[in-house]
Structure 1
């Protein structure tokens, strides 16, 4: 079928088809409204009247359910069909696919499950990554896995990365793909800056919308950060009159409500669409010529409660602001109102921060373990996952029983991996002891996995009861999904025991003398309002956290008895110690504890070597190596390595103070234990660090970066590696007499900075060329020294004089 309306992407289509016929990968940049989302997959499949270039099904990845559904419906409509025939749709709560499906639209998170279940992607001819500029974690992970499949198993697989705004050069270099850029169709847009305000955005936005309605014709698209602000703004706009339609647009709305938001306003009426950033590029909203941009956006960051990620409000990037502005010029000249000062635009981030750098990586770590690639460096990434965050994610998975100590999936981990849930919720289901408990766990996981389900009570029991009585389409879909996870059984069992068994690290006890402050077994503190019903309980299982990382709030929890809390895990009796860097002293005690929750304790006269070492490592983690007086020796070793690398004797090692701190429990702890309850000497730390390095680095340090030099006087002078002039040797001038060649290290490639001192041990001269200094600068120095130290030896020809320790003439 050939669509009647021409779109800008059509001009680039022949080039796109030729590129994918000739090569396995392509990067396509096209602005919002160019038609790439719906037109390109149809063309690749040969559904636009011209021959296609892809055999097999085409998978189109979308970052959000609403975008996936609307893309599928528009493509199906253009073919005169319903979704589920030629065009299929798969999301977490909806699946409409048939044997005749040629293009399947799927959310990016589910694609990861698809590729893990079938690494060859059997029957798939192409994978299209839409809206890749959003740099969502699932998209980055899916691309990394698809690239490996393509390189090892499926050379015929085609990968197309599409974006509205993207650093195409960076993507092209990362995946070795050509770039095609499509021009959009854009009318002029006037930008009006209204300045910043201290008002809440939901209070200010209605005023600006009313202003825009008075000043300009046409429908309005207002960008707000989230559903809460949208609903409050909608309430404030009631009473505008029958000719004004108010249409919220965000992911949690029903399909009918979303369709109403993107459809054109009826003749003679104007529409106000109140949208999240989903309307930046993924969706086309008809009839809009006025955009009002709050300048705010919700981005994913690591979720304190371990539920994958949480959304936090930040300033939108320049790329997002530009896309929002462009929505006003789709069909006619438009206007964009920006609720900030023009000068502030220059201070915006160029583009959103990739999720992989800031959000929780537990799901990614679980996926990599299932993929058989625990070393993330073996895959191709746009931005590699941060090593520290990935290490922490793996430690969390070990605690949940998903991985063993070697990072290999356990049977529980395998069950967790098959569930489309954050690992902590998956662990709840996988750890359930029986069929009724598994059904109950699945019910809780389905509710908690969808933000807003069950209301906002902090008591899990109340939230679950409300979810069970919720008859909305979204709730019904989630309940049906829970049944599939729970095996169709009737939910049952002890809720408190179930949660405490699954999340023993989040069992919490109220702190003595506090109202609403709790300490969890993991060692993290959290709180609830003293007026909250949860605050009446001495013990809780914490199900979800929010707020600031330093002072998290308990968003969801369950009161438990002390017996239930103690049954969640084995209590331990052990020796614990603390080290005070200010005094250099230890304190020790024997404690009975449930994780970090101390149940009882008694003081000890001094700590064991193990406890003392652990205490010092804890101090190092908090305050660095200076906490145990080893800061200089660490910097000294790093300086020696750096200078050897600059001299070309070694490859510069990837070592930093931060990496040494994180690795100290491995390389430093044995040396600390040998010292017992005493601080280590410099040589203890230095030798432990050197022995932790690769053998060539050890040899280079010992042979070419000495800690001291023998001087002609017979003295051994310490080499200062911390001075900006390093390597530096200081001694009285007389100690260097007789040297005609300047001392060097690093196989003769690096001259030592020689600092000649007066008999009073004050700097008199500095040189990196003694032979030249003896013939020039020495004369001025000696003239001055003879006047100040006449009893000491200041020969006319120091190069041929006898070196000594700086004694007076009489003693010589």
Structure 2
């Protein structure tokens, strides 16, 4: 159905729409620069909806914020005279209004990532519009990088448009290799004022002085930019005594992400006749939402932006100074309908950073690392690449959580975690929570993701259970029952918990008093590195599983708990301070993390005594559970070296690629053919048997560095006798010869069939899938295109030739005309070349 909704003449973007349409008809990428109010957010999608190249596919419009996404969809739907959810719809966290008829879908940035991961080809999408790209949110950068990868490899017809008001258009155009278009927009002059600050004046009262000026000097509404809801509430109280508030001639209107849908819509409507408004907003009002009638802007110069907090393990919102680009955009809101004034509440001499830094340079990257592992890409075309060190650290955390395997590949648990839609730590806890505890884990997700609802003395509690208890009391008896807590914050928590419960399978809300260990038992799976064991000699001090020390504060509510899982810490030079924690049942460590326990004989050099000591120790990760001293043998050096390997792990040894591959082959064949009696060469087994297989090769050495890689390979190979080596080469070969005559390597991962990656043209004439391990295991074939990209993963080669090959041939023959695509692959000559030899 044609949309037929030309841009309103009120929008300046109308002047460049013909050129925009022509550009996207001729090419697939575009950078559009247009100031606030030009109409880019709502008019460009409507103008593109009838483009011939769209061919009935949808347009996705990305908005960084939920308020903006909903508002943009509603505005476009009104232009079409329809309800939201028909031609124009939106999809945001916990809410969607779309239908089979939806042609334009406005989504928040994280939604695009989920769509790309579930359907990389985006078969029903013809264009993606990245609005307000200058905000450089992590999911925006990731979505753009993934979309470029899709366009380059799967969908060359996919249109990509990057739009912004304050964008380094030249740099972005170079990155995209795309043309730039600029809309002049329309704005009126804005006078910039810096009211003189008063010593030690709180922000709400500085805003009040500026508001009195704005109301006296202008005749429209006033927009105040504040960093967050807490400052909005305090400023609203300070403005309550302004003339006109009590009579209704002056309305104080909040605008932030925690408002209900009705409250958000009310904030975006014009003022009632005879009433002026002071809109108290966070940076959601900087762009993409239209606030009518604004003639003055009061800018605190502050915003809440994400920053990684290593002590909590999460990215937290911190109050920071805004960039100059944001200050300019905020000031421009005063000049949309007439000349205006912007009152900036910072000294005129203060210099701001020119533009906002990308989020991926400032936040914790485990979520990004998990997305990249799921995508399977080694490298993407980033505007700014993620910091390598932070990404590597995040991958280590994901391995600990079970989301990645040791080879940094995503696991089944990791894929389940992606579907939860929250930080990987919390997603791990949610996925591993028993079904009966899903209501409680939903409360935990909501509570960790939000500000604490506790007030007064309770706000200083380090017992995380207090927050959840307040929520449950509020559910049972309302605000009176939840003493020392903010009822509004509890209502917001409950609403967020409802969304999580729907996400987790419509779980029933948790009620009543939870078991004393219930919260900690769930949080253990989010913080397995934050397991804390009480020091026997100091009950306020704990040792963490990651090797660090922590302590409780003097007025702790957790005194006497032998085991804690620490959620939030404040770094201190000696022992970090526990800000939030919960007790848990240590029996869960044996049940869920048995692989992290070890009992070993430790031989070490004591520098103070200048003597070798031997101990038998039992540990969970870095936590020493018990230790007893044992006698020391005469062979001092070898036990000390063995102990060093046990302490540092097998990675301390000089493994070659050949040795690693040998271990994978042995482990695989050991599982497939146990009757062969192959040795156990897993990490656990090798660490447990260091004295048997490694000690002879350490004889005469005083340093681990003296052990050569070829000696380590010999030590590993020596674990197999002659017959076992022959069996290994016969039944778990390094490579297979394919019909083309070439040898192609097999990739072994214990517990899985081996993978043979080969161009499908090399298998012409082969009917049956190759098998190894005495014919017990079919090889998993990764059939590759001429460009070496997987086009099919199968263990049924015959079925592929019969059912799938005709479709593959139809799709790829035109793309790779120089390669053979015979009608009958059974009789064709196998080849690895573009043109078979005669």
TM normalised by structure 1 equals: 0.69
> 2:210, 2:615 → 1: CA distance?
63
The count of aligned residue pairs is 626
Q: Are 1:190 and 2:216 an aligned pair?
A: no
- Residue 592 (structure 1) aligned to one of 614, 618, 621: 618
What is the deviation of 1:454?
Answer: 8.8
- 1:435 and 1:487 in contact (8 A); partners too: no
* Equivalent residues in 2 for 1:624-643, closer than 5 Å: none
Question: How far did residue 560 of structure 1 move?
Answer: 2.8
2:255 alignment partner in structure 1: 249
Q: Is the 8 A contact 1:591 1:602 kept in 2?
A: yes
Helix, strand or coil at the partner of 1:115: helix
Matching of residues 486-525 of structure 1 within 5 Å: 486=505, 488=507, 494-501=518-525, 503-511=527-535, 518-525=542-549
Structure 1: state its 5+ residue gaps: 621-669, 689-812
**Correspondence for 1:134:** 135
The aligned counterpart of 1:220 is 222
Q: What is residue 362 of structure 2 aligned with on the other side?
A: 358
Q: CA deviation at 1:610?
A: 5.2
The 5 A counterparts of 1:733-812 are none
Distance in structure 2 (CA, Å) of the matches to 1:380 and 1:483: 35
CA-CA distance at 1:192 after TM superposition: 1.4
CA shift for structure 1 position 395: 0.8
Q: Once the 2 structures are TM-superposed, how far is the Cα of residue 108 of structure 1 from its aligned partner? A: 0.5
Q: Is the CA contact (8 Å cut-off) linking 1:280 and 1:320 kept in structure 2?
A: yes
SS in 1 for 2:350: helix
Structure-2 change in CA distance of 1:562 and 1:290 (3 Å): same
Aligned to 1:444: 444
Corresponding position: 1:475 with 2:507: no
Which of residues 490, 504, 509 is equivalent to 1:485? 504
Cα distance in 2 for residues equivalent to 1:163 and 1:280: 12
Q: Are the counterparts in 1 of residues 59 and 103 from structure 2 also a CA contact under 8 Å?
A: yes
Separation in structure 2 between the aligned mates of residue 180 and residue 284 of structure 1, nearest angstrom: 23
> 1:57-136, aligned counterparts within 5 Å?
57-136=58-137
Alignment partner, residue 731 of structure 1? none
**Is 1:234 matched up with 2:236?**
yes
Residues 273-322 of structure 1, C-alpha deviation per residue, up to 9 Å, x if partnerless?
A: 12111211232212112111111222212244777521112221111111
Query: Equivalents in 2 of 1:217, 1:579: separation in Å?
Result: 81
Determine if contact 1:8/1:35 at 8 Å carries over to the other structure.
Answer: yes
| Per-residue deviation, 1:584 | 12
Change in CA separation of 1:207 and 1:546 when aligned onto 2, cut-off 3 Å: farther
Q: Is the 8 A contact 1:609 1:674 kept in 2?
A: no
Please name the residue that 2:211 is paired with: 209
Separation of aligned partners in 2, 1:402 and 1:192: 52
Q: Retained in 1: the 8 A contact 2:438–2:501?
A: no
Task: Kindly state the Cα deviation for residue 62 of structure 1 after the two structures are TM-superposed.
Answer: 0.8
1:19 and 2:23 equivalent? Answer: yes
Give the deviation of 1:413 after TM superposition: 1.4
- 1:235, 1:549 → 2: CA distance? 40
Residue equivalent to 1:758: none
Tell me the CA shift for residue 440 of structure 1.
4.0
Instruction: Label 1:86 to 1:546 Cα distance change in 2 as closer, same or farther (>3 A).
Output: farther
CA distance in 2, matches of 1:539, 1:203: 46
SS for the counterpart of 2:280 is strand
Aligned residue for 2:558, secondary structure, equals helix
Root mean square deviation of aligned Cα:
3.9
Give the SS at the match of 1:161. strand
Any conservation in 1 of the 2:253–2:280 contact (CA below 8 Å)?
yes
CA distance in 1, matches of 2:551, 2:187: 51
> After superposition, what is the alpha-carbon deviation per residue over 1:381-403, rounded to whole angstroms, capped at 9, x for unaligned?
11111111111111111101111
Distance 1:268 1:517, change over 3 A: farther
Shift of 1:136: 0.6
Native 8 Å contact 1:454 1:467 kept in 2: no
Q: Are the aligned partners of 1:93 and 1:478 in contact in 2 as well (CA < 8 Å)?
A: no
Q: What is the alpha-carbon distance in structure 1 between the residues aligned to residue 173 and residue 372 of structure 2?
A: 24
1:313-332 map, 5 Å: 313-332=319-338
Q: Distance in 2 between matches of 1:550 and 1:317?
A: 36
Distance in 2 of aligned mates of 1:472 and 1:397: 33
Contact 1:439/1:483 (<8 A) preserved:
no
Residue deviations 1:216-272, cap 9 Å, x none? 443221211122122111122222233221112111111222222232222222211
- Write out per-residue CA displacement over residues 28-65 of structure 1, whole angstroms, 9 at most, x where no aligned residue: 1111121111111111114xxx9896641111111111
Question: Is the 1:254–1:474 Cα contact (8 Å) retained in structure 2?
Answer: no
Residues in 1 aligned to 2:568 and 2:170: alpha-carbon distance in whole angstroms: 41
Distance in 1, matches of 2:250 and 2:227, equals: 22
CA distance in 1, matches of 2:133, 2:358: 10
1:781 alignment counterpart: none
- For residues 32 and 512 of structure 1, do their structure 2 counterparts lie closer, same or farther at Cα, with a shift above 3 Å needed? farther
Counterpart contact for 1:58–1:124, Cα < 8 Å: yes
C-alpha contact 1:442 1:483 (8 A) present in aligned 2: no
> Shift of the alpha carbon at 1:371?
1.2
CA deviations on 1:169-212 (whole Å, 9 max, x unpaired) are 11111111111111121111111123566544345333333343
Partner secondary structure for residue 59 of structure 1: strand
Measure the CA separation in 2 of the matches of 1:383 and 1:120.
24
**What secondary structure sits across from 1:599 in the alignment?**
strand
Change (3 A) 1:193 1:58: same
Does 141-150 or 449-458 show the bigger shift?
Answer: 449-458
Contact 2:309 2:316 in 1 (8 A): yes
| Matching residue of 2:294 | 288
Aligned to 1:609: 641
Structure 2 equivalent of residue 372 of structure 1: 376
Asked whether the 8 Å contact 2:471–2:493 carries over to 1, the reply is no
Match of 1:39 among 43, 66, 75: 43
Q: How does 1:652-667 map to 2 (within 5 A)?
A: none
Deviations along 1:565-596, whole A, 9 cap, x unmatched? 67663443457799999999999976433333
Instruction: Using the TM superposition, give the Cα deviation of residue 597 of structure 1 relative to its aligned residue in structure 2, in angstroms.
Output: 2.9
* Displacement of 1:104: 0.7
- Which deviates more from structure 2 when the two are superposed, residues 118-127 or residues 207-216? 207-216
Q: Is 1:559 paired with 2:594?
A: no
Cα offset for 1:608? 1.7
Distance in structure 2 (CA, Å) of the matches to 1:338 and 1:584: 67
Shift of 1:442: 4.4
Determine the structure 1 residue equivalent to 2:435. Answer: 435
What TM-score do you get using the length of structure 2 for normalisation?
Answer: 0.67
Q: In structure 2, how many angstroms separate the alpha carbons of the residues matched to 1:246 and 1:166?
A: 32
Aligned residue among 267, 275, 293 for 1:261: 267
CA distance in 1, matches of 2:611, 2:495: 61
Please give the alpha-carbon distance, in whole angstroms, between the structure 1 residues aligned to 2:84 and 2:608. Answer: 69
The alpha-carbon distance between structure 1 residues 555 and 20, as it changes in their structure 2 partners (threshold 3 A), is: farther
